[in-house]
Amino acid sequence: MLIIGIAGGTGCGKTTVVQQIIDDLPKNEVCIISQDSYYKDTSHLTLEERTKINFDHPQAIDFDLLVSHLEELKKGNTIEQPIYSFVEHNRIKKTETTHPKKVVIVEGILILTNPNIRTLFDIKIYVHADSDERLIRRLKRDMAERGRDLEEILNRYQNTLKPMHLQFIEPTKEYADLIIPNNKYNTVAIDLMRTIIHQKLI
């Protein structure tokens, strides 16, 4: 099993990079695990209280559960991956049955902040994008997919996202084996990743 960690700031285009990588892989040989699924359970809080949580701080992530799930997959066991609702700011009761595959891709803004998870990654990638571009993508996504209004998004970006990015996310570049610029010039980096993956799978 090859476990790949893909990190980068909010709106940097991690999902696009993941898709570019897996497009060249057989669907039955790869699974994707999102850090967002592992936000801590906040059922004991009201919706109003949950909206005030700093979800861009490493403490918001249930890293213990994520580590244990990755270890189970490495052993060849199936896991029940949590499902998170960005509208409710909490996990839902349903889970997603996830089977071990030859390639496991873990993506999320904070995944390289945790040393226990970093040791499980065979390859660590950081996706870089301009801060203005990341904000624009965040605006479009949160308004279209997560039911957020413009004022809420901008307030969260200014008061939470940007300072957390500078404090926790940007510094994790130093742990990356490969830094990929998310623009039209990233084709060499993507091709390199595909080559490495194919070599590992032989």
Sheet holding 123-128, edge to edge: 30-34, 103-107, 2-7, 123-128, 178-181
| pTM for the model | 0.84
Superfamily of domain 2-201: P-loop containing nucleotide triphosphate hydrolases (3.40.50.300)
Token pair of 38, please? 């592992």
For the chain, the farthest-separated pair of C-alpha atoms sits apart, in whole angstroms, at 51
153-196 per-position pLDDT tens digit? 777 777 777 888 889 999 999 999 988 887 656 678 788 888 88
pLDDT of the residue at 112: 97
Q: pLDDT of the chain along its 202 residues, tens only?
A: 999 999 988 777 788 888 888 887 877 888 999 999 999 988 888 888 887 888 889 999 999 999 999 999 999 999 999 999 887 888 888 999 999 999 999 999 999 999 999 999 999 999 987 776 777 777 777 776 666 777 777 777 777 778 888 899 999 999 999 888 876 566 787 888 888 888 877 6
What single-letter amino acid sits at 173?
Answer: K
**DSSP character for 39?**
B
